[in-house]
A and B are shown apart, each in its own frame.
Chain A
Amino acid sequence: MNWITNYVRPRINSIFSRREIPENLWSKCDGCGTMLFHREISDNLNVCTNCGHHMHITPRDRFLSLFDGGVFNEVEVPEPLADPLHFRDQKRYPDRMKTAQKGTGEKEAMLVATGEIGRTPIVAAAQDFSFMGGSMGMYVGNAIVAAAEEAVRLGRPLVLFSAAGGARMQEGILSLMQMPRTTVAVQMLKEANLPYIVVLTHPTTGGVTASYAMLGDVQIAEPNALICFAGPRVIEQTIREKLPEGFQRAEYLLDHGMLDRVIDRREMRKELITVCRMLMKMPPPTWGDLPAPGPDEANMPQTKG
């Protein structure tokens, strides 16, 4: 594989349908209610400039700001069986998929890419909450396995950004089976002594938290992200008791020893560069504007030590 085969050509229609002028150039921060200009938000990585509230960010936007010069190569994910159970609730599952694909311009709920951050070669995977709640189905499982295999092949750390409501009910037991499957992927990295860094973003819940999202060597979360197994509503219904302020939020988990760090999205790139380089026994990073790597360079195998 080289960068040419890896490079996925943008579909013409997705350019036309997605790059329309936004209907509303202003949007309201969910945190403080301030009206923010769209350019202002995107320049600030979807973090409110007034209160620091972290709004959703798509994997593609995240990768554009994460990787040096916004350059990354998408890793191809093996296509799973479509609609294995012929699932139908009020809508057919394939129709829900089509709606999600149209709405996001993405094929599925996870994007995997290789590239460099601060000249540190990594493999990154990011879950897309806007795609059916980021739910973990067979594709997401395949994506994580592919990401781990690519990391092992190239000898690089894997950085995974989680964001999901949990397993994808429409794939029934096969979505649940992604818990052991993704755990196998994490084990591949461990056996190769490669760092596996999880960045938990809002929200990370259910079977996703109870598998790959809690098995990182280093567990980082974005501020105020909801991270849990059972959601607060379910718990309130079960124990009929008001939950404490900030329950199951990133800072709460940090206090309870479930996370290593809580880091602002705008500092995340720096954080990941620092941690990855130390774990890979690489020299300290050179901060500042480096020229973007050539595409060939970005895919060179990195040997450890």
Chain B
Amino acid sequence: MTHYLDFEKPLAEIEGKAEELRAMAQGNEDMDIEDEAKALDRKASALLQDLYKKLSPWRKCQVARHPNRPHCKDYIDALFTEYTPLAGDRNFADDHAVMGGLARFNDMPVVVIGHEKGNDTQSRIERNFGMARPEGYRKAIRLMEMADKFGLPVVSLVDTPGAYPGKGAEERGQSEAIARSTEKCLQIGVPLVSVIIGEGGSGGAVAFATANRLAMLEHSVYSVISPEGCASILWKDAEKMREAAEALRLTAQDLFKLGVADRVIPEPLGGAHRDGEATIQLVGKTIAGMLEDLSGKSGKDLVDARRTKFLGLGSKGLAA
């Protein structure tokens, strides 16, 4: 079943009507409804095009969080072969919100790391909705160290509402784990490429996205704080998330202008959740392109380039 977002309600109505019509005709040979149904289809696709032509920042957040959007696991299954998950931080636990391990990308061995949100109630709980605890970041650090040691490129897939705000996570050093993971991203002498496939939630995302190259899907977002959080602090009203999303400039398009994102990957019409497979293939192509850009560079060059990139950020603003 398609899950419609609130702004997609008119679309749901039309598509629902077409479906109803077809269902009605199925038991009845005499009814000729195909023309009418086709007209509805055309109307629906025109509406879809219209809705997605210029999504507001808040709508983009909703699309980025869509439950049917392809998640990290889908990308790993489709784009990588011989995926060998490696678990644990060697200190406390294995964090299921973070996937990671060895894999081959176009036959090349790489280390892949990413946040996984899960796709049904059970897996969402198991994955903690993609909110990592310190163990997740420490696992990532361990994997990045391994990649560095054996000269394997690192691919990170970012999709998290943010780091988990829990008692245990705080006690075990959530901030330190994030800080060290960001630090590790900056230290490794191998190519590090990252794609924001959904939500890039604050520090929890920075810990993986501090990369040589960062790509963002067309309707993904990357922000210092969630629009709801920002609204409740600055507007003193969590319901002002639309205004906050607008003000935060968190869309892939704005981040590209600011130089934070290096590439924006177009999504199929109506968002990644309407055609997961096509989205995954486009992301795969982009990852290949980004790795190609970095191939042949020495470890020192990669580290220096990463530093220069981040030190230089903030030199361009957005037009009023």
Q: How far is the CA of A78 from the CA of B179 in the complex (A)?
A: 24
The verdict on A248 contacting chain B, using a C-beta distance below 8 Å, is: yes
Interface: A295 (CB within 8 A): no
Q: Is the CB of A230 within 8 A of B170?
A: yes
The CA-CA distance from A88 to B314 in the complex, in Å, is: 18
- Complex partner residue of A239 from B166, B172, B207, CB under 8 angstroms: B166
| B217 CB–A CB distance under 8 Å | no
Determine if B301 is an interface residue (Cβ-Cβ < 8 Å).
no
Question: What's the Cα separation between A247 and B320 when bound, in Å?
Answer: 43
- Among B171, B180, B210, B222, point to the contact of A180 (Cβ < 8 A): B210
Chain B contact surface mostly: helix
Q: In the complex, A189→B185 CA distance in Å? A: 17
A179, closest chain B residue (CB): B206
In the complex, which range does the number of interface residues on chain A fall in? 35 or more
Measured between beta carbons, the chain B residues less than 8 angstroms from A51 are none
Please encode chain B, from 222 to 257, with 1 for each CB lying within 8 Å of some chain A CB and 0 for all others. 111100001001110000000110011110001100
* Residues on the B chain within 8 Å of A289, using CB: none
Q: Is the CB of A248 within 8 A of B170?
A: yes
Complex: chain A residue closest to B173, CB-CB: A258
Q: Interface size on B (CB < 8 Å)? A: 53
In the assembled complex, A220 has its CB within 8 A of some CB on chain B: no
Enumerate chain B residues within 8 angstroms of A245, measured Cβ to Cβ. none
What is the 8 Å Cβ interface bit string for chain B, positions 157-177, against chain A (1 contact, 0 not)?
000000101110111111110
Residues of B within 8 A of A86 (CB): 317-318, 320
A3 at the interface (CB under 8 A from B): no
Q: How far is the CA of A145 from the CA of B311 in the complex (A)?
A: 9
Which residues does chain B contribute within 8 Å of A180, judged by CB atoms?
A: 182, 185-186, 206, 210, 310
A210 adjacent to B178 (CB under 8 Å):
yes
| Cβ contacts under 8 Å, B176 to chain A | 210, 214, 258
Residues from chain B with a CB closer than 8 A to the CB of A211 are: 178-179, 182, 203
Stretch with Cβ within 8 A of B (4 or more), from A103-111, A123-131, A167-175: A167-175
Given contacts A174-B258, A177-B310, contact A234 B224 (CB under 8 A): no
Interface residues of B (CB under 8 A from A): 163, 165-167, 169-176, 178-180, 182-183, 185-187, 202-203, 206-207, 210, 222-225, 230, 233-235, 243-244, 247-250, 254-255, 258, 260, 307, 310-311, 313-318, 320
What are 5 A-B residue pairs whose CB atoms fall within 8 Å in the complex?
A: A84-B318, A89-B244, A169-B225, A176-B202, A230-B170
Top 4 nearest A-B pairs (CB, nearest first) are: A84-B317, A230-B165, A209-B175, A89-B234
